[in-house]
Amino acid sequence: MLKIFVARTQQGHRTMKYPDAPPPAMPDRFRGRPAISAQKCPDGCQDCAQACPTGAIALTDKVRIDMGKCLFCADCVNACPERAITYTGDYQLAARKRQSLVIEQGQNEADLWAALDARLKKLFGRSLKLRQVSAGGCNACEADVNVLGTIGWDLGRFGIQMVASPRHADGLLITGPVTQNMELALKKTYDAVAAPKIVIAVGACAIAGGPYIDHAEVRNGAEAIVPVDLYVPGCPPHPLTILDGLLRLIGRIEDGTRQTPQS
């Protein structure tokens, strides 16, 4: 037993200090918010849109990328002859409104959004209990949500915890495209949460169907079944993206605050 206590004292403090300090360094392969160069994009070229497996790219007067549908696969980057599309290191991707996930050519700053209104912030700002529902997911988003409960992230220090029963929850955190088999289960789980309640859609599947979009056996995301209060894009989203979205939702990070990951 003494050896255990000695080893623990030598380990030091493992939990990151974010958001009171810069976030941890992101891996080199991390793909954050897409950026579209207004100068490089050739007129009339459809290569990026044709390469996108989920139809996340639309070309009208400008190129638009829907991060809710985006798999961050970089097929568009590789298809563009001018490399007009790039992925930045911006991990702050979550949004309160679905339309805020759509970025367009030349728009390189995030559309920051408001946190919960004062009444809901008073209810959930210090203690937020969530029931996680995997509505047909591949387990990638689920795994990154689970990471937040480890000692390095320690989601509980913000008063945010996952609970076993929807009757003990303030809201739902949904992953997966919502398959036919999960549609009724999701609806019943939502109904079991007492009002007022919030819903968080994590990942491209939960937002718009992900790679299964428009498949006959999926509902193209949670919004087809329940109202959504927070969208966290990615396939899967990085744990830091999920954490940042949750903290902004409950007002623990003020709107407009942006921090650069450690190098």
pLDDT tens readout for residues 194-229: 999 999 999 999 999 999 999 999 999 999 999 999
Report pLDDT digits (tens) over 122-177. Answer: 888 889 999 999 999 999 999 999 999 999 999 999 999 999 999 999 999 999 99
- Is there a cis peptide before residue 236, judged by omega within 30 degrees of 0? yes
39 vs 263: which has the higher pLDDT: 39
- Of the chain, the percentage scoring pLDDT greater than 90 comes to 64
- What are the backbone dihedrals phi and psi of residue 14, each rounded to the nearest 5 degrees, phi first? -100, -20
Q: Are 240 and 145 in contact (CB under 8 A)?
A: no
**Would you say residue 83 has pLDDT above 70?**
yes
pTM of the model: 0.90
Q: Residue 184: its pLDDT value, please?
A: 97
pLDDT band at 104 (very low <50, low <70, confident <90, very high): confident
pLDDT band at 257 (very low <50, low <70, confident <90, very high): low
Residues near 146 by beta carbon (within 8 Å), at least 6 away in sequence: none
pLDDT band at 113 (very low <50, low <70, confident <90, very high): low
Domains of the chain and CATH, by start: 34-104 (3.30.70.3270), 118-249 (3.40.50.12280)
Region of 158 on the Ramachandran plot (φ > 0 left; ψ -120 to 50 alpha; else beta):
alpha
Question: Residues, the chain, total?
Answer: 263
Helix axes 140-147, 239-249, angle to 10 degrees: 60
Residues pairing with 34 in the sheet: 87
Q: Residue 107: its pLDDT value, please?
A: 65
Q: Residue 44: its pLDDT value, please?
A: 65
What average pLDDT score do residues 235-252 get?
93
- Is there a cis peptide before residue 53, judged by omega within 30 degrees of 0? no
Q: Which long-range contacts (CB under 8 A, 24 or more apart) does 24-29 make?
A: 24/240, 24/261, 24/262, 25/261, 25/262, 25/263, 26/89, 26/91, 26/238, 26/240, 26/261
State the sign of the Cα–Cα–Cα–Cα dihedral 238, 240, 241, 243.
positive
CA distances from 93 to 123, 167, 169, 193, 220 (A): 24, 30, 25, 27, 20
What average pLDDT score do residues 1-10 get?
76
Q: Residue 262: its pLDDT value, please?
A: 63
State the sign of the Cα–Cα–Cα–Cα dihedral 151, 154, 157, 161.
negative
**Would you say residue 112 has pLDDT above 70?**
no
| SS3 at position 177 | coil
pLDDT band at 116 (very low <50, low <70, confident <90, very high): low
